Amino acid sequence: MLDIRLIREKPDFVKERLSTRDPSYAQMIDKLLEIDEERRKIKKEIDDLRAERNEKSKLFPIYKKEGKDTTQIQERVKEIGERIKYLEEKLNTVEEEFNNLILYIPNLPALDVPIGKDENDNVEVRRWGESRKFDFEPLPHFEIGERLGILDFERGAKLSGSRFTVMFKEAARLERALINFMLDVHTKQHGYTEVWTPLLVKSKTLQGTGQLPKFKEDLYKIEDEDLYLIPTAEVTLTNLHADEIIPEDQLPKYYTAYTPCFRKEAGSHGKDVRGILRQHQFDKVELVKIVKPEDSYNELEKLVNEAEKILQLLELPYRVVLLCTGDMGFSAAKTYDIEVWIPSQNRYREISSCSNTEDFQARRAMIRYKDKEGKNHFVHTLNGSGLAVGRTLLAIIENYQKPDGTFEVPKVLRDYL
């Protein structure tokens, strides 16, 4: 959530930055400022009336002691009370309108984020590894998996519908091995604390990280309960400290968790229908950092390097891309995507997205820290995939495939199998 004081003090700056995402946000800021002005006027009138009521109330004992008539004072106090009640009800309506609008406004892009409309305007930062040259026609992972009997899309659809998959034998074991491998690297080499979190969360928790209310259509909700299946462990890990004030000497905090993730993939009809690239249920190892503001951009670079390390150990070629303003996620101020090479598509595909949200999520979730002088400040939060497990499995099957239709297992995983 953006700081309303920043919007009041620098409306043109806020509108200019948000317009690099989408020009329509400028109108939302104008509307928000109108509502905010009305809200402030109502609050001031309530405060003034309360002050007047207090002053009038002080006169009662004085008038009685002096034998004066208190009728006018009583009538005015009653009138003030009725007016306050009316204004408080009006304020509740205006506050709700204000909160509903500000929660739909995305984060401001950092000043060094390239301006652009979509993925075509993203900027490649670096590449690692050479894409393999095959002396045969490489197959897509779903053909290899089906021929080996380890990926079963028909049974996945029979059980749950489209975009669900059943894994057998080597695929199931490799999925489990990858989860353990990723968690071991991040906890033993990168200093993360492993966490096991619930898969069902309250709406307030999703609001804290920005999934609600804007992306409600992408979420799976439990009927008649205020519970949703998580779309990513970013939600639970970031909200571990919601409504808390963290002592400064306890920062930074690094958390990692493996969870299944659940997304409806609204708006993705017809995209990546074959295989396991885009599923309604998928496994992911998530990385979350909670840090002091002055450290957050150094921590973002470290976060990207930590996610890259997994691909390097697996010897999978990839590239790092800096996302443009029009392609960034709702809560992000700056995002790097890591894209792994997919031979059958002859292109790189996203396997991790690493973002600094600055204090955007912290304001929504009320996560603060207390400095040495005793003052409270909002933290900065960062998140990234370390990595998406199914997409890593996909990349291994395709990059390590052999002419006979089988595939090798990366050296670093063999002890895990």
Nearest to 239 by CA among 219, 221, 253: 253
Please count the other Cβ atoms lying within 10 Å of the Cβ belonging to residue 393. Answer: 24
Tokens of 58: 């002080």
Q: Is 385 annotated as a binding residue?
A: yes
Assign 268 to helix, strand or coil.
Answer: coil
Q: Is 383 annotated as a binding residue?
A: yes
Q: Is 264 annotated as a binding residue?
A: yes
Query: From CA 290, how far away is CA 299, in angstroms rounded?
Result: 10
Q: Is 238 annotated as a binding residue?
A: no
* The pairing of beta strand 253-262 with beta strand 193-194: parallel
Phi then psi for residue 30, to 5 deg, are: -60, -45
Tokens of 125: 């930062």
Query: From CA 350, how far away is CA 337, in angstroms rounded?
Result: 6
Tokens of 249: 């000497």
Q: Is 308 annotated as a binding residue?
A: no
Q: Is 234 annotated as a binding residue?
A: yes
Tokens of 84: 């306050």
Handedness of CA 101, 106, 110, 111 (dihedral sign): negative
Q: Is 172 annotated as a binding residue?
A: no
Q: Is 263 annotated as a binding residue?
A: yes
Query: From CA 24, how far away is CA 28, in angstroms rounded?
Result: 7
Contacts 24+ apart (CB under 8 A), 170-173: 171/145, 171/393, 173/417
Q: Is 286 annotated as a binding residue?
A: yes
Q: Is 130 annotated as a binding residue?
A: no
Q: Is 232 annotated as a binding residue?
A: yes
Q: Is 177 annotated as a binding residue?
A: no
- Cα-atom radius of gyration of the chain, to the nearest Å? 27
Nearest to 202 by CA among 221, 178, 175, 184: 221
Phi then psi for residue 396, to 5 deg, are: -65, -50
Query: From CA 321, how far away is CA 240, in angstroms rounded?
Result: 29
- DSSP labels, 136-198: S-PPPHHHHHHHHTSEEHHHHHHHH-TT--EE-HHHHHHHHHHHHHHHHHHHHTS-PEE----
Assign 127 to helix, strand or coil.
Answer: strand
Burial class of 86 by CB neighbour count within 10 A (0 to 12, 13 to 18, 19+): exposed
Tell me the catalytic residues: 263, 278, 350, 353, 391
Cβ neighbours for 228, distance < 8 A, ≥ 6 positions apart:
200, 201, 202, 203, 206, 219, 220, 221, 222
Q: Is 244 annotated as a binding residue?
A: no
Query: From CA 376, how far away is CA 292, in angstroms rounded?
Result: 11
Residues annotated as binding site for ATP?
A: 263-265, 350-353
Residues annotated as binding site?
A: 232-234, 263-265, 286, 350-353, 383, 385
Residues annotated as binding site for L-serine?
A: 232-234, 263, 286, 383, 385
